[in-house]
Homo-oligomer: A and B are copies of this chain.
Amino acid sequence: MSIFLVDEYKEMEPYVPGEQPKDKLYIKLNANETSLPPSPKVFEAISKSEIWNMSYYADPHCHEFRKAVASVYGVTEEEVFVGNGADEVLSFVLMSFFRRGMKIYFPDITYGFYRTYAKTYGLDMEEIPVKDDFSIDINDYMDLEGDIIFANPNNPTGRAIPIDDIEKLVKKNPERMVIVDEAYADYWGETCLPLATKYPNLVVVRTFSKSRNMAGTHIGFAIASKEIIADMNSIKFSFNPFNLNSVTMAAGIAAVKDTYYLDKCINRIVTNREQFKSDLENLGFHVIPSKANFVFCYHDTISSSELCEKLKEEGILTRHFADAKLDKYLRITIGTEQEMAVVLIAIKEILAEVKV
């Protein structure tokens, strides 16, 4: 730590992303990414002339990209904010609308980045316990004094809050902002997006990192009222005006337009998820019903931390959270049929060893 670091940051707890060891080839099912490639249109879009075009600044207003997103989601360009990953989009939301000491609520089990942000930037966060089955009761959020952030479906549980519940909450609390992070919503098929331009206190955040197979491209977007998007753009133009580079936007435009490929990938992952859940249950696993591209599960005969370790020895990465509320479970990302078949073989072998 330098002597110059601002005092308020001295206790910060930076986010710890899922590990990405490079010492050998892994079957990587620990960070909800995928081995499926981006849309073929992305490969076409990043042409040699597009690379040459990197000589000139990209459009900081991101007009073409925002128009493409708007057209696919049936909103206007002014209702779309695009950013360098959903994390950056969320950070711009929080930066624009929250200041040190302001109250923010989220479930005690959710995406860890909200806690990181709130703690670092001095928001007064309150974590509301989820139910024993990891479901979220919207009534716990109805009469609070402060803004709220949900991941929906939730990470790492895969549980989803019904859209009607979120609409009730948003409608009843017009002076409170509700932020819904829909990173995994494509695997659920339901969404708050149609509400985002209907209610001025709702912000929906999306990512290209999951269903569009583009985690490494790191593109996120938000849909909300024109006023909210304008505020976020003002903050962006005061922090990093050119937040998306030209090649990234070219890739994003190509990807967002290819809804055929998107649907194909979603269907494939959802099919694999349901098959894998059923295969795990046949092996005696407890599996939380998931609306995302992962399952959250455990087996009575082996601790999830041990299972995670043993899978890693086999070159298969999964994610175990040491947090007391989560450490019983293992989160396994859903990949291709071949990847899931190999994981099942490995799990069977590990369980057989344990039983001996």
Interface residues of A, Cβ cutoff 8 Å to B: 1-6, 8-9, 12-18, 20, 28, 31, 33-38, 42-43, 46, 48, 51-60, 84-85, 87-88, 91, 96-99, 113, 116-117, 119-121, 175, 177, 200-201, 209, 213-218, 225, 227-228, 230-231, 233-243, 245-248, 251
Kindly provide the distance from the CB of A57 to the nearest chain B CB, expressed in whole angstroms.
4
**Contact between chains at A53 and B17 (CB < 8 Å):** no
Q: What are 12 A-B interface contacts by the 8 Å CB criterion?
A: A3-B200, A9-B96, A9-B234, A14-B241, A17-B60, A42-B54, A54-B213, A58-B218, A91-B240, A119-B238, A121-B238, A247-B251
Who on chain B is nearest to A43 by CB? B51
Kindly provide the distance from the CB of A146 to the nearest chain B CB, expressed in whole angstroms.
12
Q: Take A4-B201, A12-B234, A48-B43 as given contacts and tell me if A57 and B240 are in contact as well, using a CB distance cutoff of 8 Å.
A: no
Q: Take A15-B241, A217-B247 as given contacts and tell me if A228 and B55 are in contact as well, using a CB distance cutoff of 8 Å.
A: no
Task: Determine which of B4, B51, B57, B215 lies in contact with A42 in the assembled complex, contact meaning CB atoms within 8 Å.
Answer: B51
Contacts of A218 in B (CB 8 A): 57-58, 242, 245
Q: Interface centre among A52, A200, A225, by most B CB within 10 Å? A: A52
Q: How far apart are the CA atoms of A18 and B57 in the complex, in Å?
A: 10
**Contact between chains at B117 and A247 (CB < 8 Å):** no
Contacts of A98 in B (CB 8 A): 6
**Contact between chains at B243 and A88 (CB < 8 Å):** yes
Task: Determine which of B48, B225, B245 lies in contact with A216 in the assembled complex, contact meaning CB atoms within 8 Å.
Answer: B245
Task: Determine which of B13, B241, B246 lies in contact with A17 in the assembled complex, contact meaning CB atoms within 8 Å.
Answer: B241
Q: How far apart are the CA atoms of A6 and B153 in the complex, in Å?
A: 28
Who on chain B is nearest to A237 by CB? B14
**Contact between chains at B53 and A238 (CB < 8 Å):** no
Contacts of A88 in B (CB 8 A): 239-240, 243
Q: Take A55-B216, A116-B238 as given contacts and tell me if A96 and B6 are in contact as well, using a CB distance cutoff of 8 Å.
A: yes
Contacts of A38 in B (CB 8 A): 51-52, 54-55
**Contact between chains at B209 and A57 (CB < 8 Å):** yes
Kindly provide the distance from the CB of A205 to the nearest chain B CB, expressed in whole angstroms.
13
Contacts of A121 in B (CB 8 A): 238
Q: Which 3 A-B pairs have the closest CB atoms?
A: A14-B237, A216-B246, A120-B238
Who on chain B is nearest to A219 by CB? B245
Q: How far apart are the CA atoms of A230 and B215 in the complex, in Å?
A: 25
**Contact between chains at A14 and B57 (CB < 8 Å):** no
Q: Interface centre among A31, A35, A88, A241, by most B CB within 10 Å? A: A241
Who on chain B is nearest to A231 by CB? B5
Contacts of A239 in B (CB 8 A): 87-88, 91, 117, 120
